[in-house]
A and B are shown apart, each in its own frame.
Chain A
Amino acid sequence: MGKKHLVMVRRDKTPVRLIVINTAIFVVLALAFCGIFMLAQGFNPVSIYAQMFAAAFGSFSGFTESIVTAIPLMLCGLGVSVAFKMNLNNIGAEGQYAMGALTATGFMLFGPSVPGPLQIPVMIIIATLTGAVWSLLAAIPRAFWNVSETIVTLMLNYVALLLLDYLCYGPWKAAGGLNLPYSAKIPKTAYLPTIFGSEINVGFIIAIVVAIFMYWFFKYTTTGYQISVIKHSITAAKYAGINVKKNIIIVMLISGALAGMTGAVQVCGVLHRLQPKLPNNAGFTAIVIAYLSKFNPIVVILVSIFFGGLSLGSYTVQTLGVPSQVAIMIQGSILIFVLAGEIFNRFKFKRVGEHETVNTIE
């Protein structure tokens, strides 16, 4: 036979094992890529990665700290995934998160007094509703006039973050103290309890429950079914009589609600007060996490923990002179590498004879 050549063939089915291996390979490649920049700065990437890993996952306290860092990522990541599951781009988790924190804390500090045991539920409910309303501002124009939800949610982030800044520097700034832009602290009775005898707060449990619920919801409910039909084919959805507008609103409400809930969980669990830039980019990192997890809620939890550890690790290596922004560089590289590597999940290489023709990439 004549000479053989390589062609790419579409895979019929991709085994899960293959996806895991591919992803791992491309994460390593991304780390190697970032290593080049560390080398250029005169650092030894291997030892830096080792230290980051040790700090994040090497000890019980490090591991729990990573999870604490990951809790807002989990909740925002789940929220963002819900919207992405229906091809709705909720880029506004950051703002929904900020608004949730803002209203819940504001209510606790300046609203009518709430009995101790009810404080946490009330704050969480207020934050959740606020996040939902904030995303509704993008959902309604999207559903009824086809206004891009991407742009509206993105812009609403700035509104929310600037409002938070204004309140922290201005009217809500705590009296006395160090003149820092912080609000007063919420009462101790509103602090989230910790679990496992560690720093991990109940927010972790909430995130896991939400993830499991989401998994179940998409698999077993008619609403979940309608959402996946709309995601796969809007024409088919309309043909089946599915109310697309209604589902856009529902999905954006859930998405915003989860991001908003993050606000209360983070204030009650970790910060105990408002401060500027409170979401700390969690709403944006959540987008990266959602994509890497392919919107699978269980995977969102795992990827969030990894990203939590990553940012924790990057803080510790700051002492060696490595800028902490290294975390963002690694996150970005991982996303790009893993997405690029997906082509190997969908295609395989095959050696074929000279005259043989195959259906290559359409």
Chain B
Amino acid sequence: MSELLLEMENITKTFIGVKANDNVNLKLYSGEIHALLGENGAGKSTLMSVLTGVYKPDYGNIYFRGKKVDITNPKHAVKLGIGMVYQHFRLIPTLTVTENVLLNSGECPRILNVKEMNDKITACSEQFNLKIIPEAKIWQLSVGEQQRVEIVKLLYRGAEILILDEPSAVLTPQESDEMFKTLRIMADSGKAVVFISHKMNEVVANADRITVLRAGKSVASMKASETNRDDLTKLMVGHEVEWVRNADVGDMGNCILRCEDLEADNDRGLPALRKACLEVHAGEIMGIAGVAGNGQKMLAEVITGLRPLRGGKVFFKDEDISKTTVKHRNRMGISFVPEDRLGMGLIPSMNLMDNLILKKYFHPEYSNKGLLKKRDIQKATDETVEKYDIKNAGIQREVGKLSGGNQQKLLMAREISGEPDLIVVMYPSRGLDIAATMAVHEIILEQKKRGAAVLMISEELEEIFELSDRIAVLYDGYLSKPIDVGDATKESVGRLMAGIGLEPEKDTDTKEAV
């Protein structure tokens, strides 16, 4: 059963000056689920791009079923039966599932017998217990369903090796359990499944074997049953990591933020927040869980004043701020770490100093009678860079050239300067490596300790559970009642993330006391 299907040997791939892959080895057996674990920039994507024929390695060999192959282009990889599901799906929204699958298969008959093709594709997917509706248009499908279509695309083409790039990133916990079950069926049928991940728990729970990459090198390959989260973290980072946690859960003060029946529309004018009620207290971290795209952005933006409310009220320390400007809220002590780090929170084409003063250029600290205090700004930037260990090539350089972790640290540092009473943080660790994630988590916990109210919106359940005092879930614009972190389980939160048990209040219902 477990025959050596593919071997990558001493793969080296250099991008000007940088070795993205440095003598990487990878063995794939038929019938296994293999996890490729590593931090951002460890070389996971490069390695998979070599395997799928997108990049040509400088050195190294690839053996497919024991025979040396030279994968020169993506088509060649397809012919060998190697297929990949990218993090951003490559589907055409206005076409049906069948049409998308056929487009990819290379068989495009002159006259399309839709019925026959639908049946063929259904048969193929049922073999692996993948539920799809062949005549549905892609845009009608949920993200989880779209991912299944991506997998069917590969299976229909007869892929023997399936590569999935961060497949659980867009799914609820239940959906990802379902997905991993499907992957298991495929592996059992003799295929090799590779998934890329940076989540240790997921890897330990679902993979047969794990290969860890660090800084372009393959540092270890082991059976999943013989390792654990801490060992893996150590391998990934290169040194011992101490996880930060919220140590004093439930210790909180006055109510800082109170939201009553918030209603707001998204950019397309469709309702995106439906009567959301919420309270956040001083010294409390309120975690908002949920799959991205369920109204998180709208919630953060109506609280910070960037988006008008259609209904409901926002109170900050018992003062109604529903109609006040961003600047006013900013001055009152509300700060915001937005989701789009470089699109909104920072200006990539401006330097560190200009970015640091973005919210406070008018403050006596940085300006006097409309004139910028260049020297003070420079000093403050130097201090910030030093205090938060922001690695940079000079504070006069563009922020866009910093690494993601350093950008986030700069952004956080700016938002907590001046000790705001309320901090709204969206996806604090998105795209960050472990060290940067730790640093960011520490900053958030420090703010709690200082007595600030923190509203943390995240899609990483681990982050939510490790930092929050209370957890609420956002699904399709409905905000659940908060649960104390001690009473919450991944299962209960996961059910809410899928909308189960989230009773939408009917319009005629009277308001419930919060």
List residues of chain A with CB under 8 Å of any chain B CB: 9, 12, 220-223, 225-226, 228-229, 232-233, 235-236, 238-243, 350, 352, 355-359
Contacts of A223 in B (CB 8 A): 370
B15 touches A357 (CB 8 A): yes
23 pairs, A vs B, C-beta closer than 8 Å: A220-B371, A221-B372, A222-B362, A222-B371, A228-B350, A233-B343, A233-B347, A233-B349, A236-B344, A236-B345, A236-B358, A238-B306, A239-B336, A239-B338, A241-B325, A242-B327, A356-B15, A356-B58, A357-B13, A357-B14, A357-B15, A358-B16, A359-B15
CB < 8 Å: which of B16, B330, B338 contacts A241? B330
CA–CA, A352 and B18, complex, Å: 13
Interface pairs A-B: 6 shortest CB-CB:
A241-B327, A241-B326, A355-B58, A358-B16, A240-B358, A232-B347
* Residues 311-349 of chain B, each 1 if its beta carbon lies under 8 Å from chain A, else 0: 000000000000001111110000010101001111101
The CA-CA distance from A228 to B346 in the complex, in Å, is 13
Known: A355-B57, A358-B16. A239 touches B345 (CB 8 A): yes
- Which residue of the partner chain A has the closest CB to B13? A357
Is A221's CB under 8 angstroms from B371's CB? yes
Question: What are the residues of chain A within 8 A of B350 when measuring CB–CB?
Answer: 228-229, 232
The chain B residue with its CB closest to the CB of A9 is B16
B347, A222: Cβ atoms under 8 Å? no
Q: Bound complex: CA of A239 vs CA of B58, how far in Å?
A: 45
Q: Which residues of B contact A239 (CB under 8 A)?
A: 306, 326, 336, 338, 344-345
Task: List 18 additional contacts besides A220-B374, A232-B350; criterion CB under 8 Å.
Answer: A9-B16, A220-B372, A225-B372, A226-B361, A228-B354, A229-B358, A233-B344, A235-B340, A235-B343, A235-B344, A238-B306, A239-B306, A239-B336, A241-B305, A241-B326, A243-B327, A355-B56, A358-B15
CB-based nearest B residue for A7: B16
Q: Which residue from chain A places its CB closest to the CB of B343 in the assembled complex?
A: A235
A238 to B329, CA, bound (A): 13
Cβ-closest chain B residue relative to A224: B372
Nearest-neighbour CB distance to chain B for A276, whole angstroms, equals 42
Range of interface residues on B (Cβ < 8 Å):
35 or more
- The answer to whether A222 touches B306 (Cβ under 8 A) is no
Closest CB in chain A relative to B350 CB, distance in Å? 6
Give bound CA distance, A217 to B439, whole Å: 38
Contact mask for chain B residues 284-320; partner A; CB cutoff 8 A; 1 contact, 0 none: 0000000000000000000001100000000000000
Q: Once bound together, how far apart are the Cα atoms of A352 and B56, in whole Å? A: 14
Distance of A183 Cα from B370 Cα, bound (Å): 44
Give, as a whole number of angstroms, the nearest-CB distance from A46 to chain B: 42
Partner among A220, A242, A352, A357 whose Cβ is within 8 Å of the Cβ of B55: A357
| Chain A proximity of B179: nearest CB distance (Å) | 32
Task: Tell yes or no: B61 within 8 A of A by CB.
Answer: no
Knowing A235-B343, A356-B58, A359-B15, the reply to whether A241 touches B372 (Cβ < 8 A) is: no
Q: Is B358 within 8 A of A350, CB to CB?
A: no
Task: List residues of chain A with CB within 8 A of the CB of B16.
Answer: 9, 350, 352, 356, 358-359
B-side contacts of A232, CB under 8 Å: 347, 349-350
Contacts of B361 in A (CB 8 A): 222, 225-226
Residues of chain A within 8 A of B343, CB atoms compared:
233, 235-236
Q: How far is the CA of A235 from the CA of B341 in the complex (A)?
A: 11
Contacts of B336 in A (CB 8 A): 239
Interface residues as binary, B1-25 with A (CB distance below 8 Å gives 1, 0 otherwise): 0000000000001111000000000
- Minimum Cβ distance to chain B for residue A129 (Å): 22
Alpha-carbon gap, A223 to B13, bound state (A) = 48
Q: How far is the CA of A26 from the CA of B370 in the complex (A)?
A: 40
Chain B residues near A226 (CB, 8 Å)? 361
The yes or no answer to B367 lying at the interface (CB within 8 A) is yes
> Is B326 a contact of A236 with CB atoms below 8 Å?
no
Cα A225 to Cα B56 with chains together (Å) = 46
Tell me if B359 counts as interface (CB < 8 A to partner A): yes
User: Which residue from chain B places its CB closest to the CB of A221 in the assembled complex?
Assistant: B370
Q: Interface on B for A, CB 8 Å cutoff?
A: 13-16, 55-58, 305-306, 325-330, 336, 338, 340, 343-347, 349-350, 354, 357-359, 361-362, 367, 370-372, 374, 401
Shortest C-beta distance, B318 to chain A (Å), equals 22
Looking across the interface, which residue of chain B has its beta carbon closest to that of A358?
B16
Q: Which single residue of chain A is at the shortest CB-CB distance from B360?
A: A240
Contact B359 A236 (CB under 8 A): no
Q: Which residues of B contact A242 (CB under 8 A)?
A: 327
Residue of A with least CB distance to B55: A357
Which B residues touch A240, using CB under 8 A? 326, 330, 358-359
Which of A222, A233, A357, A358 is in CB contact (< 8 Å) with B372? A222
Task: Report B-chain residues with C-beta under 8 Å of the C-beta of A359.
Answer: 15-16
A212 CB, min distance to chain B CBs, angstroms: 16
Closest to B54 in A: A357
Q: Which residue of A lies closest to B367 (CB)?
A: A222
Whole-angstrom distance between the alpha carbons of A240 and B338 in the complex?
A: 11
| Nearest B-chain residue to A226, judged by Cβ | B361
In this complex, the member of A220, A241, A355 whose beta carbon has the largest number of chain B beta carbons within 10 angstroms is: A241
Q: A120 to chain B: closest CB distance in Å? A: 29
Interchain nearest-CB distance for B70 vs A (Å): 12
Q: Counting chain B CB atoms within 10 Å of each CB, which of A242, A350, A352 scores highest?
A: A242
Which residue of chain A has its CB nearest to the CB of B338? A239
**A residues less than 8 Å from B58 (CB atoms):** 355-356
CA distance A212 to B349 in the complex (A): 24
Smallest CB gap from A241: residue in B: B327
Question: From residue A146, how far is it (CB to closest CB) to chain B in Å?
Answer: 15
Give the CA-CA distance A156 to B56 in the complex, in Å: 58
Neighbouring A residues of B347 by C-beta, 8 Å? 229, 232-233, 236
The chain A residue sitting closest to B362, CB to CB, is A222
Residues of chain B contacted by A356 (CB below 8 angstroms): 14-16, 58
> Closest B-chain residue to A243, C-beta based?
B327
Which residues of B lie under 8 Å from residue A352 when comparing CB positions? Answer: 16
B370 touches A222 (CB 8 A): yes
Collect the chain B residues with CB atoms within 8 Å of residue A233's CB.
343-344, 347, 349
Q: How far is the CB of A239 from chain B (nearest CB, A)?
A: 5
Nearest CB to that of B340 among chain A residues?
A235
Q: Which residue of A lies closest to B359 (CB)?
A: A240
- Shortest CB–CB separation between residue B56 and chain A, in angstroms? 6
Give bound CA distance, A357 to B336, whole Å.
39
**Least distance between B37 CB and chain A CB atoms (Å):** 24
**In the complex, what residues of A have CB within 8 A of residue B14's CB?**
355-357
Query: Which residues of A lie under 8 Å from residue B57 when comparing CB positions?
Result: 355
Give chain A nearest CB distance to B17 CB in angstroms.
Answer: 9
Nearest Cβ on chain B to A66's Cβ, whole angstroms: 36
Q: In whole angstroms, how far apart are the Cα atoms of A239 and B342 in the complex? A: 12
Q: Which residue of A lies closest to B393 (CB)?
A: A12
A residues near B372, Cβ cutoff 8 Å: 220-222, 225
Please give, as numbers and ranges, the residues of chain B lying within 8 Å of A229 by CB-CB distance. 347, 350, 354, 358
A220 to B340, CA, bound (A): 29
Q: Which residues of the partner chain A approach B55 to less than 8 Å between Cβ atoms?
A: 357
Q: In whole angstroms, what is the CA distance A241 to B330 when docked?
A: 8
Write out the residue numbers on chain A whose beta carbons fall within 8 Å of the beta carbon of B56: 355
A353 (CB) vs chain B CBs: closest residue: B58
Q: Which among B16, B57, B354 has the highest number of chain A CB atoms within 10 Å?
A: B16
- A222 vs B373: C-alpha distance when bound (angstroms): 10
Point out which of B329, B343, B370 has the most chain A C-beta atoms below 10 A from its C-beta: B370
Q: How far is the CA of A199 from the CA of B21 in the complex (A)?
A: 69
**With the chains together, A235 CA to B342 CA distance in Å?**
10
- Chain B residue, CB-CB nearest to A233: B347
Q: When chains A and B are docked, how far (Å) is the Cα of A226 from the Cα of B338?
A: 20
CB distance from B267 to the nearest CB of A (A): 12
Residue on A with the closest CB to B58? A355
- Rounded to whole angstroms, the CA-CA distance of A355 and B15 in the bound complex is 9
Query: Chain B residues near A238 (CB, 8 Å)?
Result: 306, 326
B305 nearest CB neighbor, chain A only? A241
Contact residues in B for A222 (Cβ distance below 8 Å) = 361-362, 367, 370-372
Residues on A with beta carbons closer than 8 Å to the beta carbon of B346 = 236
